[in-house]
């Protein structure tokens, strides 16, 4: 089983709203990732959590706030987003954070910011 579950599948929010994206995996993976993908572009890494600690922040604006409550769960808290933040947000997990471990992706959350 290589399933990564993301909720919600679709989200529409205004620029003053606060919302959260959720990602869950039960494969015992110790690394979890958030990617942002704009239309017709490749995924761009946002954050990496390694053993529940933030390992990489790719200079993401503070209106995006990641959280890893436990090894199976990863959240992305959204606040005061801009219309240009509309994108597909993908979560991934891997057994370990290095060594060429395979990253398994969820189906993503399609976010629209009005």
Partner 1 sequence: AQKVTQAQTEISVVEKEDVTLDCVYETRDTTYYLFWYKQPPSGELVFLIRRNSFDEQNEISGRYSWNFQKSTSSFNFTITASQVVDSAVYFCALSEPTQGGSEKLVFGKGTKLTVNP
Footprint on this chain of partner 1 (rule: CB under 8 A)? 2, 31, 41-43, 45, 48, 50, 55-56, 88, 90, 92, 97-108, 110
Output 2 or 7, the one with its CB closest to partner 1.
Answer: 2
Residue 113, phi then psi, degrees to nearest 5: -110, 120
Output 20 or 101, the one with its CB closest to partner 1.
Answer: 101
For 95, which DSSP code?
A: S
Report d(CA 82, CA 114) in Å as an integer.
8
85: helix, coil or strand? helix
Output 22 or 79, the one with its CB closest to partner 1.
Answer: 22
**β-pairing, 10-13 with 109-113?**
parallel
At its nearest, how many Å lie between partner 1 and the CB of residue 19?
19
At its nearest, how many Å lie between partner 1 and the CB of residue 16?
27
């Amino acid at each position: 089983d290589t399933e990564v579950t993301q909720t919600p599948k679709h989200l529409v929010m205004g620029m003053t709203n606060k919302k959260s994206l959720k990602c869950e995996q039960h494969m015992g993976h110790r690394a979890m990732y958030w990617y942002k993908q704009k239309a017709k572009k490749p995924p761009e890494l946002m954050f990496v959590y390694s053993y529940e600690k933030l390992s990489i922040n790719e200079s993401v604006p503070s209106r995006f706030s990641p959280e890893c409550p436990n090894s199976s769960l990863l959240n992305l808290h959204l606040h005061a987003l801009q219309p240009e933040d509309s994108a597909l947000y993908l979560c991934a997990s891997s057994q370990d954070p290095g060594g060429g471990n395979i990253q398994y992706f969820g189906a993503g959350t399609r976010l629209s910011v009005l």
